[in-house]
Amino acid sequence: MQIAIDGPAGSGKTSVAQALAKELGFIHLDTGAMFRALSVILSEEGIREEDRISERLAQTDLQMIPEGVSIDGRSLIEELRTEEADREVSYYSQLKVVRDWLLDKQRTLSAEHDVIMDGRDIGTVVLPHADLKVFLVASKEVRALRRAIQSGRLDDYADILADIERRDKVDSERRLAPLKPADDAVIIDTSALNFDEVLELIRNLVEEKR
């Protein structure tokens, strides 16, 4: 079974996907973490041109690990949650060479297991035939507050809100795989819902599909 959970930054999709995958015994594929991991490595190595990125990816081994991603045997966990990673992923995630390489990786993994995959284009591009597609939304203010609380940076709320607004603009306006719900996705506004309520709603949707 394939479950796709999409939504903008801070909508709660990754936390919900992790919890649901654990309940169901599914594999959780955090595509955002994959993009972030590649962005960290490529930016550290100063590789920004697409032809050089293509050469680097041809020699890259990416594996999912608990809480993060392994690139060529290096575990990346805390590195994926920095402001620098936020900035760099906006650049690298727009590049066709990066998206194509990860698309192949994601589809290969999803064909081998029951999966829950979260991201921004899972239901529209990565898994267009997923058994269940969910698109989570929430106001930008709520999403920024959640990020601030989660990271212990309440004093930086204004900066986090500005970053959320920037990410929304980049994700929705990019030429390749822009952020938008699939035609057959179930849209859930989480602005006034707590984590358990969102999880229950999606759990019920899964049971209906089964």
Q: 3-state SS of 119-132? A: ECCHHHHHCCCCCE
* pLDDT computed for residue 61 by the predictor: 95
- What dotted CATH number matches 2-197? 3.40.50.300
Confidence at residue 150, expressed as pLDDT on a 0 to 100 scale = 84
Res 50: pLDDT: 96
Residue 74, number of CB atoms within 10 A of its CB:
12
Q: Is 82 helix (H, G, I), strand (E, B) or coil?
A: coil
Say if residue 94 is exposed, middle or buried (CB neighbours under 10 Å; 0-12, 13-18, 19+).
middle
pLDDT in tens, the chain (210 residues): 999 999 998 899 989 999 999 999 999 998 989 999 999 999 999 999 999 999 999 999 999 888 899 999 999 999 998 888 988 998 999 899 999 999 999 998 888 889 999 988 999 999 999 999 999 999 999 999 998 998 889 999 999 999 999 989 988 888 888 889 999 999 999 999 999 999 999 999 999 988
Closest to 89 measured CA to CA, from 65, 56, 120, 62? 120
Q: Are 119 and 14 in contact (CB under 8 A)?
A: no
pLDDT in tens, 95-118: 999 999 999 999 988 888 899 999
CB atoms within 10 A of CB 35: 23
175, 161, 158: which is closest to 96 by C-alpha? 175
Structural tokens at position 20: 């649901």
Extents of the domains making up the chain = 2-197
- 5 and 134 Cβ atoms separated by less than 8 Å: yes
